[in-house]
Amino acid sequence: MGRSRGGLTSKIHALVDAEGRPVSLRLTGGQVADCTEADALTDNLEEGDILLADKGYDSNAIRAKAAARKAWANIPPKANRKESSTFSRWVYRQRNLVERFFNKIKQFRGIATRYDKHPENYLAAVKLVAARSWCRCL
């Protein structure tokens, strides 16, 4: 759990497949930068995969790791980025699968309001809801 001016906060980082089903979930404090968790999330990338992420994940290290795994990182560049990178707005539209996943898990009151005070318990609840979404797809 992280501390900020608003109190205790947390962030859920998710990697989903092409169907919007979660593959990997991580939990961090609210003050932690998004790109710090990308290394653990992108361990499952395979050759030919497309990594879609928002501007918070725009870093040279993430792009290099995707290139080393022969995957394509389609991440919009930050406003302060010096060098340009390849970015397709048309492909980026598919990132809404992640947003739809977050919308599905926030339908559960305990997830949306963050009742659990321990990060392990909260992540376990998120993973239970994610398992439910996998079962519904079968």
Instruction: Locate the domains of the chain by residue range.
Output: 2-137
- The predicted model scores a pTM of 0.83
| Separation between Cα atoms, residue 65 and residue 38, nearest integer Å | 10
Looking at 3.30.420, 3.40.50, 3.90.550, 3.30.1450, the CATH number of the domain 2-137 comes to 3.30.420
What is the mean pLDDT of the segment spanning 118-127? 90
Given the DSSP bridges, would you call strands 72-74 and 50-52 parallel, antiparallel or unpaired? Answer: parallel
Model confidence over 73-98: pLDDT tens digits?
999 988 888 888 888 899 999 889 99
| Separation between Cα atoms, residue 102 and residue 94, nearest integer Å | 14
| Separation between Cα atoms, residue 117 and residue 104, nearest integer Å | 22
Model confidence over 8-65: pLDDT tens digits?
678 899 999 888 899 999 998 888 888 888 888 888 888 999 999 988 888 889 999 9
| Separation between Cα atoms, residue 13 and residue 24, nearest integer Å | 8
